[in-house]
Structure 1
């Protein structure tokens, strides 16, 4: 598909201006065939080959996306980074646009992982409604046995571990109750979700896991129980709660001490405060393409098939954060 022809520039400008009236006027000047082509046409000179449909989806405005949907003949069209419009909507946290795309038949398996990476991305917003929507449309929350059997399978997203590690109580509850996600699975680092809850001293999460049937004496890959984690991390509340329920622990810690960070600490490491001055931030969020000014946004753009494994390269999986060991830093994309 070539670049958008000049007479369709008004469509792009309307999307840039987020003006639904302007968009409707621009669409009236196009034939049905032209409308079908403009939906999947690339923005001129955009290095990531952003299509008009992707750009409309990113606006998080149903009035901008809806007028285009009747003319889309391929909801799986991918931009130059391999993203479908549904992937774009989820990464934008746009429930409305994601809902419209799913209603039109957008594939939940566009991420090559049965929708698991879509849910992982939706969890970044701690949005129970968005996660529920994806699950209702068939998104997988449990890795297949084949994924789990292969310790290097980069599609084996451990969603409950993500939720526990980030303290997303409502998401964790949803995954357990609606998704019936197993509670005693060890992730690629060899840790159980309950180990993370104990180590973080998250009593609410720890109680949820225990009340839903998590094994309070499950051992990580080094042989440490949740009580061992709580003691090693000096998590007083977790120690008291586990001991009250009869949990056990060896006298000595086995292996190296895991490094647990709060979401705030991870964010600080990922985006050091000193790197973001007002001038830099302004440069990041304003851009131009072929004379067209529009918002920039940063999204996670790596191939979902590579996301998990890339983050493991060159690291001791027992010595870094459970979430970070599967989610790498987002690449930069400009739309």
Structure 2
């Protein structure tokens, strides 16, 4: 069952940081990777609301797919990066998020961090193999973004 926005009960529980409800819904067969109207999953919602690390942790522990992209090509990682949420970025990377995934405009998580001058998040993303040479749709690397 979905609301008029296409959200499931699991999506709403994730937005509301109701970890007990998330556990209950998942134990009763809720689809952890169900996408709503804009392609958001419960993990996207958890990553988009700063301070919801406990929700993110529960979803990751239950096997939420960190690689799902929404309608704009954004992953939970790129959303957490855009919110400058270092703890969520760390949790998503530990959960297997791929920092090289590009959104519909060709941006990676590192492009987002560099363009917003999110120093600590960018440092976290600068691990070996971070894809510093990946170009976005405008031909820019994260280094180009950082100097502009």
1:218 to 97, 101, 126: 101
Q: Deviations over 1:79-114 (max 9, x none)?
A: xxxxxxxxxxxxxxxxxxxxxxxxxxxxxxx438xx
> 1:248 and 1:157, CA in 2 relative to 1: closer, same or farther beyond 3 A?
closer
Give the match for residue 119 of structure 1: 10
2 CA distance for matches of 1:224 and 1:182?
20
Count of equivalent residues: 134
The answer to whether structure 1 residue 169 and structure 2 residue 39 are counterparts is: no
2:33 to 130, 142, 165: 142
Query: Deviation of residue 118 (structure 1)?
Result: 0.5
2 CA distance for matches of 1:155 and 1:228?
22
Give the match for residue 132 of structure 1: 23
Q: TM-score, with normalisation over the residues of structure 2?
A: 0.78
1:207 to 90, 93, 103: 90
Query: Deviation of residue 132 (structure 1)?
Result: 0.8
Q: Deviations over 1:307-329 (max 9, x none)?
A: xxxxxxxxxxxxxxxxxxxxxxx
2 CA distance for matches of 1:251 and 1:136?
40
Query: Deviation of residue 212 (structure 1)?
Result: 1.3
Give the match for residue 115 of structure 2: 232
Greater RCO (CA < 8 Å, at least 6 residues apart): 2
Question: Which 4+ residue blocks in structure 1 deviate beyond 2 angstroms?
Answer: 153-157, 248-255
1:247 to 116, 130, 133: 130
Query: Deviation of residue 248 (structure 1)?
Result: 2.2
Q: 3-state DSSP class of the match of 1:217?
A: coil
Q: TM-score, with normalisation over the residues of structure 1?
A: 0.37
Query: Deviation of residue 141 (structure 1)?
Result: 1.6
1:198 to 74, 81, 84: 81
Query: Deviation of residue 240 (structure 1)?
Result: 1.0
Query: Deviation of residue 157 (structure 1)?
Result: 4.2
Any unmatched runs of 5+ in structure 2? 139-148
> 1:157 and 1:216, CA in 2 relative to 1: closer, same or farther beyond 3 A?
closer
Contact 1:117-1:157 within 8 A present in 2 as well:
no
Q: 3-state DSSP class of the match of 1:219?
A: coil
Computed over aligned residues only, the root mean square deviation of the Cα atoms, in angstroms, reads 2.4
- Superposition pairs of residues 46-65 of structure 1, within 5 angstroms: none
> 1:184 and 1:128, CA in 2 relative to 1: closer, same or farther beyond 3 A?
same
